[in-house]
Structure 1
Amino acid sequence: MKYFSIIAMIVLYFLNSVNAQDNIQKNKIYRTWITFNNKPLQTEGVLYEIKDSSILVSSSVAIKDYSTDRVETLKFNINEIETIKIRRKNSVGRGILTGAITGFAVGGLIGLISGDDPPCPQGTWFCFRLTAGEKALITGIPFSIGGAGIGALVGSVKVNIPINGSIDNYNKNKNELLKYSIKQ
């Protein structure tokens, strides 16, 4: 029993120390597009860190690069930034997948609810008859295509944060930007 309590204390100590040094988001990367006041081009990357009067943007989209803290960043002053647009990495793909699955489920449910076709009358030489499962498949496929299109549209939406070169606008939106930055 004595050994068990010592081992438990050691494990709890290490778990606490591991948790205390975590300031990197582990599983979410947000793509960032920055447009500038005086430049016609925009910069694309990942919002790495929010500072008092600037932001740091990285070009790496692999979360493992951020755990080592060896990421090259570019620094942009707030007075140069017009807008910051943010979207979660792979959100378009997730939207397509979710929309296709939802569309197939809705179309399949409609097909199942419509039920089997009635039996063919005697004496007819041609009769087209579908079961509820066949109707579910036939209606599910077009609904999944439509759902994938809607999911792609929803997944491609970007959060638009206007800065307009103003430190006041930046400070108003700072908490919002912190939600999307890698380093808290």
Structure 2
Amino acid sequence: MKTSLIFITCIAFFLSPFYNYGQREKKRTYKIWIESNVKDIKYKGRLIKLKDSSIVISFLEDKVLEIPVKEIDKLKFRRKGSIGMGAGVGAATGIVVGIISGLADGDDPPPEYFFDFSYTAEEKAGGAAVSLGILGAATGSVIGSLKKKFKINGLQENYNRLRPELIKYQSD
């Protein structure tokens, strides 16, 4: 019974990346943070358009702002929902690893003393799944919160050099 449970868990874990295979891929949405070098102002929104000498962003869902390249110090991007996705993947990974390691460790021998603790494989699997699931969710959310950074320094040359890479962060 334990062997078949471990086998099914491993198969499900390794086949999960192929779940969306063949389905239409959705356009990824990114959030943008812009640090200005002229004013001590930070902008947050969605990248709408990359122009020759400016960037157009949308914020508060209905307001549009065009920022000249000469006023941009840094651009930061993060995929929308990446923190939750990272937490979910981390928790799932921790739970699976906890279950497998707890079941693989097997049952403890019966206790010799009154205060001697012994656990069944299922109890070990449950405890390990909970603790590693929490740890995995925390780690995944930290990894998901990381932002991709681009340094412009108000220079048109830097913007022109980075522009082909910035196009993928643009919303449709």
Q: What amino acid maps onto 1:86 in structure 2?
A: F
Q: Does 1:50 align with 2:68?
A: no
Higher-Rg member (1/2): 1
2:91 to 100, 106, 111: 100
Give how far 1:27 is off: 3.2
Give how far 1:149 is off: 1.2
Q: What amino acid maps onto 2:152 in structure 1?
A: I
Q: What amino acid maps onto 1:74 in structure 2?
A: L
Q: Secondary structure at the match of 1:135?
A: helix
Q: Counterparts of 1:161 and 1:125 in 2: how far apart (Å)?
A: 62
Query: What TM-score do you get using the length of structure 1 for normalisation?
Result: 0.74
- Describe the shift of the 1:173–1:115 C-alpha distance in structure 2 as closer, same or farther (beyond 3 A): same
Give how far 1:90 is off: 1.2
Q: What amino acid maps onto 1:103 in structure 2?
A: G
Give how far 1:60 is off: 5.3
Q: Counterparts of 1:125 and 1:78 in 2: how far apart (Å)?
A: 73
Q: Does 1:132 align with 2:148?
A: no
- Describe the shift of the 1:28–1:126 C-alpha distance in structure 2 as closer, same or farther (beyond 3 A): same
Q: What amino acid maps onto 2:67 in structure 1?
A: F
Give how far 1:144 is off: 1.1
- Aligned-residue sequence identity (percent) comes to 41
Corresponding residue of 1:31? 31
1:46, 1:60 within 8 Å by CA — same for their partners in 2?
no
Q: Counterparts of 2:148 and 2:114 in 1: how far apart (Å)?
A: 60
Post-superposition Cα deviations, 1:42-75, rounded to whole Å, max 9, x if no partner, equal: 00000111111111101256xxxxxxxxx54210
Give how far 1:125 is off: 6.0
Q: What amino acid maps onto 2:123 in structure 1?
A: E
How many residues of Structure 1 are paired with residues of Structure 2 in the alignment? 148
Q: In structure 1, list runs of 5 or more residues that go unmatched.
A: 1-24, 62-70
For the aligned residue pairs, the C-alpha RMSD in angstroms reads 2.0
1:79, 1:167 within 8 Å by CA — same for their partners in 2?
yes
Corresponding residue of 1:167? 156
Query: What TM-score do you get using the length of structure 2 for normalisation?
Result: 0.78
Q: Does 1:89 align with 2:80?
A: yes
Q: In structure 2, list runs of 5 or more residues that go unmatched.
A: 1-24
Q: Counterparts of 2:171 and 2:114 in 1: how far apart (Å)?
A: 69
Post-superposition Cα deviations, 1:89-121, rounded to whole Å, max 9, x if no partner, equal: 111111111111111111221111101122456
